[in-house]
Structure 1
């Protein structure tokens, strides 16, 4: 396996095992190939040989430190702190010293490893220490990092113009993490600025800088971003003269977090620094009709004023702490209302809940395609227990799909109509495009009988028909020939109909009575045997006009 800064880059499956030193009949070259000619171009320091394979986290734990030489499993250690000597001392018991071969184009470099405790950091922490807080007395500290300027890699610099005593936390992350760092605390009584670096004692390794909680955050690529974070500090004239960094996305590795007094040496007071995992939305769950959204936070959340939350008096979230928007995006819904919030068990929010239920109402029911966006109303709406806000400016987006079953908008003739001409067609309009659910295809003459049945209501005799539709919304049913006169007709619209999102139609029927359009005719007649009356039989009932 090949690691860079404790992060695995490549791995290979090759046969091997423990090194048998007695079988090695050649020298061990560091920085030169076996041919004696091909040399490494660069700086080499802190060469270590272990008798076991170290994990990435084990590498990161010591890769920036000078070792003592008695660490378990360490069998070879050359730190190159030999002050121009050609002899490179071994720092393990019984180890073999090295011999420096300088062919005239190499030179001793400045030592980048600070030794035990470090030259430019004051305390080491890892994510195992989260949530972490510490009070640093800058009046007893040196000025190890120059924060008056921040150089850009491509040339130029950000001029800050202030620098003083500082305190540095060396943070080692064994895996990628999203964390917060803040100096907003009543015990922070200096005008503090903060810079974060990736190399010890190397100002050029800065990755961002912030002066105050509501001033821009500067990055090495020259970009900035700014939020109006609320902040409490002991710097009474300007309490915002502290730092708020709610959401820092970091890879695994080592970082140097430097809190710096903006006043020149000596330090003028103390800085309380907090670090921990950022408040995040872990996930959401949405009800099928989109009337409820469950928010799952990474920790308990609080609403109310920032000062109240900071002082331990936060309250439950309120509807005003959220911002909601619906983009119709071709759908019907264009507005959503947040009617209430509740805990997962339905109770009122009191603060500290990790699950918050949002109850929503749509004046127009979503028809599908709409995009719902939900997020905090501002960067001062939703907080963790120490007042660090949820920095989720974009919010979460939810694509609303069609959850409504198709319905009949109108028919011609209407249900229950009488006197319908026997030669008329039947028109049905649906609320949306439909299809045959049996084969998920458009409804045509070839499969119409799967979805519609036309019959005489009383006798149950089927009536044949053809069907046409230009958009699968409006359908015209054409009976083969004229419908029987003065007859109740029944059209069944079957549950085999569905919309394009598999929402099934609920079975329905249309009834109507055809018109009596033909004059009555005598079918037969007869005279009685004694000629006292005549019997006439008509083809239908007749009435006196």
Structure 2
């Protein structure tokens, strides 16, 4: 520490005024220190407190000051450089003041942007460093600072000075508002600056080359070569005035830096918007103006303690927010970064980006500003550092962009033609001040002077006129230039093509449908070989001569021919076009006269049958002759089928008829009819006449049948063209479908031998006329008809034979209450079931038991009647009429054999209460089909009534009418086919035969007459 003659008094009685609301202040004690004579001094202060404190808070220890005798607010003036918590001692270095001192621990807010600046009034405000530590004499040095003039005066205003010699270092503005950097008689001077904006100034002195250089806002401004190095004229260093405290500056100063080296332009540009740490290499003094001050001194941030004592009338109000970093300039499309700020104590701080209008920003402590593409002009935004806002104004300097020219498409033109090519141009800065320079790669084809360019709002057209009668390829390059000399070019190819040539052709005549002889013509081309030229044809009438009716020959010599085949009469213009590879062409035309031919209508193919005449109409016309004068002739390809003698052609004014009568032979014949006009021109048409034979069918004789029989009829069919087995044979009509329906007839054609199978409707008699038709592949038909007569069977008719294993059952239920069951039987064994209505627990059945007729009736609940006849023994091989009746109201069961009531042996005679049946019927078996009948059965009748003995006697030897209402089922067995026993009533109770492999039909011997 520096020894001084000073007075120091520690006072602990006055309550201290807190520096701010968040400060931690030590106990009520402070020191009064003064130099002898109460003058300023610079020394290190070591102060011992009465409080305990931690070394961890040393970074927050600050020395606060106020003038002697003042009881107002304290001002922070210095940071603790060392702390000894064992002795409670804090040391502050380089204190330049006399007055009252106090220690407190206080954390300052973070600094945004350039932080704070000092205002100098231009009268007597300045800072002086008398420590003689800023030794730049005889050395290289650089001095930088931010300055903003408060007003523009016609007086010298110095910012930096050194020495009390008038020839010492002086940096500032002269009376002409020019910026000067001078010492002795060596002066570097800029032009005049008359604005009051913030500017960054830097001066450098190279002691090896004696070069004085001035920079403003990161740009080189001027330089001067001094006569010698900067001499040592005294080391007092002044801020805010010139040497010897002269020519005081009026305005704001910030970020003053003194270096002991020559800073390069790049180094100046890189750091002019960045607060320094204070320990950078070569930095010997740094006044950033951001520390709280006592308006008595300006703090040096470096460790060199080059503080400056304040003179004049400066107060705390001179310490203001700085906007030195607020104004930024960048080039169009060029980004830059901003150091958001810093913290005096090194604490972490937060940053919130603003939102510019013409750019995007990103980052935290370093903010990146990126202008939108092709935008220039002014922009503003703000950001916040720990709640302290900082505005930024950005000037985006326009950068000239080169013009743009679009693609120009290649073009092809003919000789002596003009090319017109469209293209576009754009220029962001000089859209309407562009110049165009066209250049031709071949002046003999296109001279530069024959290329003109016209533009409207960027839409341009290049018009190119080649030399007369010149062909070939040339490349045109168009260069567009803006007023600053930036250019863009685009090229296109221009082909000037010589068209091919074609010779003339004389007019020509021919007849319809007659090809011309080859018509000669020549073609030539200068660029394309003759055999590689393209020949095409157009016609004024495709009806007379179509394009497809023309053919070319095209040799390498160019001597070509065309052959035409007209299809209609009249006069047509033929155009022949020759084209080269670039679609340039030449055309020649000639007239073709086509004489008319008579025309005959196309006749379709016809079909007829042998020996059958056919009349075919058609029309004939002629452009030159009356239709009635046209002559018709006919030829045939086969006179055996159609001889000329059996044809007749007639013409009635063009409406014609061909009468054709084929022979008895079948086949196909080609017929050609020719029409000839009076000039001998003719036209023919051909068609095919198909003569088909008619299929034959053998006559079928009338025949008679009995009812319920299946009958087979055979007959033959044949045809000359269609295979006999492929002929269609069908029944096409039946006069009596009640007797026999179409579904009851089937026909099979086996190679022409046909089998017709018919079955009549059960128990139907009568006659029916049946027509059978044969059809060939041409749908020609023939038919035959015959009559069938169906008669009832006489007397007993037929019966069914049961073999002891077979039976028949109805397909639907029989409904009875009172009932009578009858049958004729001829047993071959003495036991077997005859008829059963129902099965299981409820039924009524008739059967043979040891040659005796038996009847069992079972009712629901188990009630049974079981009777066996004892009067008549039924012998095998003999026909018997058997019957029984049951009267439900009287609960009476009666048995009959040959209409004789039988004495019975009663096995069970239980009362059958409310007896009725609605169940199947079984013939030839008992109720559960376990006992089967062996022998013949005929005339089974089931009545839903109790028949008297007299009724039974009257009907047993004759067939009965199936219509009475009480007759539920009637089976006469008068059939000769099938496995179904037909019910003759209308109730449809047919029975299907079970377990049979043959048709069990036999002549009945029962005593029955018609």
Normalising by the residue count of structure 1, what TM-score does the alignment of the two structures yield? 0.29
Q: Which of the two has higher C-alpha Rg?
A: 2
Say which structure, 1 or 2, has more relative contact order (CA 8 Å, 6+ apart).
1
Q: Which has the higher strand share?
A: 2
